Copies of this chain bind each other. A is one copy, B any other.
Amino acid sequence: MNVAYIARGETLGSKPSNMTELLRQNILNHITLSDEELESFCNLFNQKEVRKKNFLIREGEICKFEGFVTKGLFRVYHVDNNGFEQVLYFAQESWWITDIDSFTTEKPSCLYIQALEDSEVLLISKKDKDFAYNNIPKIEKLFRIMTQKTHIALQRRMIDNLSKTADQRYIDFIEKYPTLFQRLTNVQIAAYLGISHEFLSKIRRKIASK
């Protein structure tokens, strides 16, 4: 495995383990891998710093990476025809980020991924991910399981959006993501809940007065 790794022109030797420690933990939460497999997979990632307000991708670009957040916070969002922003999801430490649509189809993205704080991510390219799929069979299982989990979460959110009132969705959000909640402005939360930030402000007043 290491031979293939070196042959692909990457730097020789492992990255400092503190850089990929969170990633290793995250992977082992989903599947079991030998030290060698873990090592060679983690070595396919490159660290990148993204300062607050900077973009990992913008609409129209092709998403060439899949990322794992090791520090900071991102928002993945869409801008509609009227210029309004809808947040698909937030990603803090130990969350994965990509536009899976653009990444897999290699077509231009209709999403923006922006850092809301000074952040750090580990990025893997499509080429290296395909390499991992072909050479470390369990990686196929890893992403099958992870995609399943994010899909389940999105299904639940879809049902909630269809069945619950904005008040309830806001209360649920705080309960479900209590620490993330504290790192977000009301503008961002409103864009996630699918309401105007003015209306969120009125919801907050109503809740506070109880």
Task: Give chain A's interface residues, CB within 8 Å of chain B.
Answer: 78, 80-81, 84, 86, 88, 100-101, 104, 133, 137, 140-141, 143-144, 147-148, 150-152, 154-159, 161-164, 194
Contacts and interface: CB of A to CB of B under 8 A. Distances in A.
Nearest to A102: B152
A158 B93 CA distance: 24
Contact of A154 (B84, B137, B158, B164): B158
A140 B144 contact: yes
- SS class of chain A's interface: helix, strand, loop or mixed? helix
Nearest to A154: B154
Contact of A151 (B81, B147, B157): B147
Nearest to A80: B163
A74 to B, nearest CB: 16
Contacts of A157: 158
Contacts of A154: 151, 154-155, 158
A89 to B, nearest CB: 9
Contact of A86 (B81, B86, B133, B162): B162
B158 A88 contact: yes
B78 A163 contact: yes
B100 A148 contact: yes
Contacts of A162: 86, 161, 194
